[in-house]
Chains A and B, each alone.
Chain A
Amino acid sequence: MTTATAQLPKSTKPVSLVTRWKRSTWIPRVLFPITILLFWQVGMQVIRRIWPFAVDVLPTPMEVVDMMWGEIINPFVEGKQAITRENLYLTFGRSLLRLGSGFVIAMVIGTIIGLAMGLSKAVDAFFHDWVMALLAMPALAWALFTGLIFGMGNRSPIVTVVLTGIPFVIVNVREGVRNTPRELFDMANAFKVPRNRATRHVLIPSLMPFFFAAIRYAFSIGWKGLVIAEVFSGQDGAGWTIKFYYDAHRAHGIIGYAFFFVIFALLLEKLVFEKISNRVFKWRPKTTDVALVEALFDGPDDAASATAAAQI
């Protein structure tokens, strides 16, 4: 005789502190910056004792935070003037305007070329080698080249953003078109679904993951290209300001501005990209595969193992 149990046996073993620590994600997340700051602070103290000149070139975390805080509040404090020609907000505003313009141009042209390459072998053969060459081209080369051609002003950084970002858009969109599930188109054909409806509901949604990858790549790569272009051919903007601090031999300014970039990129990812992505891809099943692999190292998570057992 066989018996079947509907419920999993509940573990009565108490969960140890170490297991609990291994399972939580926020503790290691917070632990990372704390460890870095600690090493940084202690390391600077030690180096400054051995090499006093390091005060100018190797700042402590607090000096960087001071500088950043000053940049944030100075524009609103009467009598306080920015060290650089323009305050943080104007500087980032200019850079973002350039980045945004270059990004939109790269996305539009890159999507058109990527679609054409995915749909036509002849177009693919025509552009393929050029796109590979563009991918291999360093942003520095574009920055110098556009600087020479366009001189100071907006054009050089914008064109650099376009040229650095566009090959990533093209490659991703092309791969997206090539990976469109053929069997879904066959299904639409079998049911005599009109072509434009099939394009709207089969081609475009299947392109979305690739399109999002293209957006993220174009943004992050274009951002780096922009800063380099501003270093060489800018009279303002974030790249130029970092160069200003470099010329002034003030490392806390360079690090502080680099942090502003990182914070902005993280905010953009969390508040914009992630939110749009969650909305567009809400149809994706919540998989426990990742949790199951992690369980090999961290020990099984109760929820994950229960779901896995239920699936078996």
Chain B
Amino acid sequence: MAEIKIKNLHKEFGVGDDKVVALVDVNLEIEGDVFVSIVGPSGCGKSTLLNILSEIETPTSGTVSITNKGHAALPGYVFQAARLLPWRTVMDNLLFVQEEVTDAVRARCQKYLDMVHLGDKGNKYPGELSGGMQQRVGIARAFSVEPDVMFMDEPFSHLDAITARSLRRELHEMWKATNKTIIFVTHDVGEAVELSNRILVFAKGGVLKDDIQVDLPFPRDPSDEQVAIAKANVLKKFEELDLVAT
């Protein structure tokens, strides 16, 4: 579990006429084993925020602190594409991101491969797996470092609907089993409602427009009436905030 504090965060790319403002004065606090989704239209700065949180990019101004009981929190990351090393086996891809490789670490990696139903694929190369399986390996890799906080950048957007649905269920079960803080970027409101306790709505230009609590019991079935109503309410907010493309 982690504690995330974002104060007056501002991010720009380029200079002069090429300057693009990605995030404007973002202030946020996230704490505990919550599943937080960041939604918004393309170019609203969702992925930029995630990249800053995971230190892939640095902010132009403002501060970000991610701690766990006063210490720097350990992050895990699931990308849009699986980003596996194609020349290393599935197990070696998990071991690549570990601080050290011991028998206990190997057993831990195997445990997470089992959790994503790929326990018998440790010796396969990524090229031998389907897109859905590769993304499962990406999820297992992120959990295998036993992070305090997990960043996920539209991890299911490249997958077909059926695979994405089953992966969402697996992700929910893993979150419940491990009590992580998860920051999940998506453009799919239904996905956000199905998975999260809290939805942050960003508008074009990188402005945080709303912070919605989703107080529905888990597991949530997308065909469930309550979930459908919650989804409709969030979409209504989109309209109120003028986020729907015309």
Contacts and interface: CB of A to CB of B under 8 A. Distances in A.
The answer to whether A and B come from one shared complex is yes
A32 interface: no
Interface string A97-109: 0000000000000
Q: What is the size category of the interface that chain B forms with chain A? A: 20 to 34
B68 to A, nearest CB: 14
Contact of A201 (B76, B83, B85, B141): B85
Contacts of A189: 55-56
A183 B81 contact: yes
A53 interface: no
B125 A283 contact: yes
A190 B88 CA distance: 18
Interface in B45-104: 54-56, 75-77, 79, 81, 83, 85-88, 96-97
A4 to B, nearest CB: 15
For the side of the interface on A, what is the size category? 10 to 19
A202 interface: yes
Given A191-B77, A191-B145, A201 B56 contact: no
A187 B83 contact: yes
B79 A284 contact: no
Interface string B161-193: 000000000000000000000000000000000
Nearest to B81: A183
Contacts of A192: 75
Q: Which of B75, B81, B97, B145 has the most CB of A within 10 A?
A: B97
A283 B79 contact: no
B97 A191 contact: yes
Contact of A187 (B77, B125, B127): B77
A202 B85 contact: yes
The CB with the most chain B CB atoms within 10 A, among A183, A189, A283, is that of A283
A190 B85 contact: no
Interface string B124-148: 0101100000000000010001000
Contacts of A284: 86, 127
Contacts of A201: 85, 88, 96
A285 B76 CA distance: 28
A205 interface: yes
A187 B76 contact: no
A205 B93 CA distance: 14
A184 interface: yes
A186 interface: yes
A283 B77 contact: no
Contacts of A188: 96-97
Contacts of A208: 87
Given A183-B79, A283-B127, A285-B125, A190 B54 contact: yes
A285 B79 contact: no
A104 B87 CA distance: 26
Contacts of A193: 96-97
Nearest to B138: A187
Contacts of B128: 285
B127 A190 contact: no
A190 B75 contact: yes
Contact of B88 (A183, A191, A283): A283
Contact of B79 (A187, A197, A202, A282): A187
Contacts of B81: 183
26 contacts: A183-B79, A184-B83, A187-B79, A187-B83, A189-B55, A189-B56, A190-B56, A190-B77, A190-B151, A191-B75, A191-B97, A191-B145, A193-B96, A193-B97, A197-B96, A201-B85, A201-B88, A202-B85, A205-B87, A208-B87, A282-B125, A283-B86, A283-B87, A283-B127, A285-B125, A285-B128
The 7 closest A-B pairs by CB, nearest first: A285-B127, A191-B97, A190-B77, A187-B83, A283-B125, A205-B87, A283-B87
Given A186-B56, A192-B75, A282-B125, 20 more contacts: A183-B81, A184-B83, A184-B85, A187-B77, A187-B83, A188-B96, A189-B55, A189-B56, A190-B56, A190-B75, A190-B151, A191-B97, A191-B145, A201-B88, A201-B96, A205-B85, A208-B87, A283-B88, A283-B127, A285-B128
